[in-house]
Amino acid sequence: RRTPRASQTHSNRYEMSAFTVATSAIGVTAKVTSKIAAKKTAAAPLSARAAVSGVSAKAFAARSHAKVASKAAAARVATVFAADKPDRSNADAPDAGKGQKIMILGGDGYCGWATALHLSNRGYEVAIVDNMCRRTFDDQLGFNSLTPIKGIHERVRVWEEVSGKRIQLYVGDICDYEFLSAAFQAFEPTACVHFGEQRSAPYSMMDRSRAVFTQTNNVMGTINVCYAIKEFAPECHLIKLGTMGEYGTPNIDIEEGYITIEHNGRTDTLPYPKQGNSFYHLSKCHDSANMLMCTKTWKMRTTDLNQGVVYGVATPETTMDDRLVNRLDYDAVFGTALNRFAIQAAVGHPMTVYGKGGQTRGFLNITDTCKCIQIACDNPAPPGEMKIYNQFTEQFSVNELAALITEAGQKLGLDPQVINVPNPRTEMEEHYYNAKHSKLQDLGLEPNLMKESILESLLTTVVKYKDNVDQRLILPAVNWTESASVGKTIAKV
């Protein structure tokens, strides 16, 4: 990989990767290695905004509604699968992916690692591309994964030792086009799965430098990927991970990517309106627009997966050896709602519901993320067409999630409690939400719904590692309205 010289002038700074530029702006030296050795930093105290404001009776009252919602979802799935479905009976065969070469950008991350192992175990030839910046974020902010994850080089070696299957590894930044083009030419992928972006809305709202990094890294990286496909792998299918957050919370049903509109006597089918509510979500909106233009202009094959909130940690592959364990984030910047609630319940910390708790989102288990990616790989878009799928299996409010964790935790002898904390985000806390999500099920996805056994399994894993929890990282410390131009570091105090 080409490293920019320190003597480069500001006018030449565009040649540096977005990761290098942005981390330099906040006083961090970016260096990609197999093991991160930087010391964890600390600064300003946690925000007093997150002080406890009382127990949420509404969250406990939501238990019965959560059960009803879960049963209704199961009934809908049963109805869907009564229809004709593609035959995916061999999807788990050891040679299911024979002949396909899948490049996974961001393969060291939460979703990327699980997906890499899932595909490799089913005969797909897999390569991981990653610069390990997610690990660097932890070092910057003093965070840690609940689970003791190994370095990427050891992970890949252990996987070959356990499974007998090899995953190729390319360590570098996709914002460095020289590196990315070399990786494409070396591996020659038939599909490229793009997880390789800064994925946290709170991180993007911490301060100006991280907002700029998020947009530059995510948007520029995706443009580089599109050019690499055009130049070096024109038949490669680009599978990009977007987010359901691109849609916002409109007061109408959310369609899967496109909506047909009648206006002044004329009709057209257009991309569904986007209303991103953070610099992270807006970067995904820009990605989708850029991909659609490239798809039409260069006749690319693209699939945009608008993914819901992912929960869980264990997949069949990550449980084959303790050294393959996936990361599990519980802090208020990178931890997703359900995972955070499970960890809070396990360590005896009240589950922190932001605001009224009526915020409703789509959710899916980490195992279903892997299955959806496999389905997308097996069903490439035709040249010049961008398929868009809403990738989630159920939708719940935050209060309903807390109620489900409460019930599952009590069966394990835990005593989960709920508190409401002031909402650090600028968002509606009670709203209409009905998002369509049938296309992946039409292609054969059989969802793992949020039943008690899955929640109990998650809680059991969390209890195993609960001594690793730093409770100083649990309360929210990033406020949307207070995002400032001065770089911010969250302290553990």
Per the DSSP assignment, residues forming a β-bridge with 484 are 207
For residue 142, give both structure tokens.
């003093």
Could you identify the residue written with the tokens 């105290």? 45
Catalytic-labelled residue, pool 124, 177, 280, 433 = 280
Specify the DSSP element, H or E, that contains 110: helix 110-120
- Please indicate whether residue 243 is annotated as part of the active site: yes
Instruction: Label residue 179 exposed, middle or buried (CB < 10 Å: 0-12, 13-18, 19+).
Output: buried
What does DSSP assign to residue 97?
T
- Please indicate whether residue 387 is annotated as part of the active site: no
Asked if 345 and 463 touch (Cβ cutoff 8 Å), the reply is no
For residue 461, give both structure tokens.
């894993």
Per the DSSP assignment, residues forming a β-bridge with 129 are 105, 170
For residue 341, give both structure tokens.
């609630």
Q: Residues with Cβ < 8 Å from 240, sequence gap 6 or more?
A: 194, 222, 287, 288, 291, 302, 303, 304, 305
Catalytic-labelled residue, pool 147, 243, 393, 461 = 243
For residue 96, give both structure tokens.
């299911």
Q: Residues with Cβ < 8 Å from 165, sequence gap 6 or more?
A: 120, 121, 159
Distance CA(96)–CA(371), nearest Å, equals 12
The packing angle between helices 366-378 and 110-120, to 10°, is 60
Catalytic-labelled residue, pool 240, 284, 371, 488 = 284
Pairing of strands 258-263, 266-271: antiparallel
For residue 83, give both structure tokens.
């229809």
- Please indicate whether residue 280 is annotated as part of the active site: yes
- Report residue 148: phi and psi, to 5°: -80, 85
3-state secondary structure of 33: coil
Pairing of strands 237-243, 258-263: unpaired
Q: Residues with Cβ < 8 Å from 141, sequence gap 6 or more?
A: 40, 41, 331, 333, 489, 490
Residues classed as catalytic? 243, 280, 284
